[in-house]
Each structure stands twice: as C-alpha cells, then as structure tokens.
C-alpha cells in the first residue's frame, strides 16, 4: 500500500468521466488499497479514484466514527439504481476541495449495484451518511463535484479562491 497525492480544484481531471473497470484483478485491488490508505491519512470518509488521478470507476468509503472499528467498503463500477423521494441535507466537504463545507440536499436513501474487491456483483441499500457519501463519490466518477449542487454564486467564489491559490503555487 502507498499513499497517493490527492488532486485539488481547479485540476481539470476532476471533471473527467471515469472509465469502467474491465477486470477486478490484483492491480485494481492494489489501487483500492492505496486509495483506502490515502483516504484514512487525509483524513476522509470517501474517495473516488479520479481524486488520485486514476480515471476509473472505483470508490472507497468508511463512515465509521472515530470511536468505532474501521469499516472499509470497496465499490467497483458502482451504479445508483434507485433513490428515495425523501431528501436529506448534510454539510458536505471534499478532499479535493479542502476546508470547504456546504449544505447539500440529496436523496435520503439509494440502492447501488457494484462489484466487490473480488469482482462479485453486489447490491446495497444505503441510508443516512452512507447514502450521501456514495452519491457524492459516484458524482466524482461522473465529473460532478459537490459544489455543483450549491448556488452559482457560492460555487463561483469557491472556484475563484482555488484558482487563485493554484496560480500562486505555480509562481512559487
């Protein structure tokens, strides 16, 4: 396992649509393990492969609280097949947009199909924080960021802030 660098806004790769995984093999499992270690180190509760500059449809999640045992989940080619009419609001953040948190409204529940780390088909009914997290991460796989779900004015301010910071880093 190795720590990977997390790409940050305004990196254009965050807007890429990720490719499906053809085969769940040792290389895919190694990337999933790297992603999990990177997510824990950040620290975060979810990470999509594109956030470590790998444009493939992989997600790792662990919504366990600090006082609970780790509960890592691996999603290969996840697809949302159902969402509830009921909505829920969570203050979302993103490892690719550090220190920014905004209230986002999403379906309160969803069902997801995916392959597990052994390539076996799975289906999972997600509620609460897990439902929000999996929707957030699948958005990443489709080139969508959580700031796309907030007002245009707030989004514009955030993008300008990160674009300015990136230009300053380029000068240094």
- Would you name the residues annotated as active-site residues? 137
Cis peptide before 135 (omega within 30 of 0): no
| CA nearest to 11, candidates 166, 149, 151 | 166
By the 8 A CB rule, do 24 and 119 touch?
yes
φ, ψ of residue 100 to 5 degrees: the values are -115, 130
What lies within 8 Å, CB to CB, of 9 at 6+ separation is 96, 97, 145, 158, 159, 162, 163
Determine whether 156 is exposed, middle or buried from the number of CB atoms within 10 Å of its CB (0-12, 13-18, 19+). exposed
What is the rounded distance in angstroms from the CA atom of residue 94 to the CA atom of residue 99? 8
């Amino acid at each position: 396992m190795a720590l990977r660098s997390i790409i940050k806004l305004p990196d254009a790769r965050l807007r890429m649509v990720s490719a499906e995984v053809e085969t769940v093999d040792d290389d895919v499992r190694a990337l999933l393990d790297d992603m999990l270690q990177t997510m824990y180190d950040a620290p975060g509760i979810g990470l999509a492969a594109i956030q470590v500059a790998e444009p493939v449809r992989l997600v790792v999640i662990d919504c366990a609280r600090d006082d609970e045992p780790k509960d890592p989940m691996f999603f290969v080619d996840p697809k949302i097949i159902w969402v509830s009419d009921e909505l829920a609001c969570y203050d979302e953040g993103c490892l690719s947009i550090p220190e920014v948190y905004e209230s986002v409204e999403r379906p309160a529940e969803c069902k997801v199909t995916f392959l597990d780390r052994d390539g076996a088909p799975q289906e999972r009914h997600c509620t609460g924080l897990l439902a929000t997290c999996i929707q957030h991460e699948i958005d990443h796989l489709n080139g969508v960021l959580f700031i796309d779900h907030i007002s245009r004015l707030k989004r514009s301010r955030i993008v300008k802030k990160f674009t300015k910071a990136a230009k300053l880093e380029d000068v240094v």
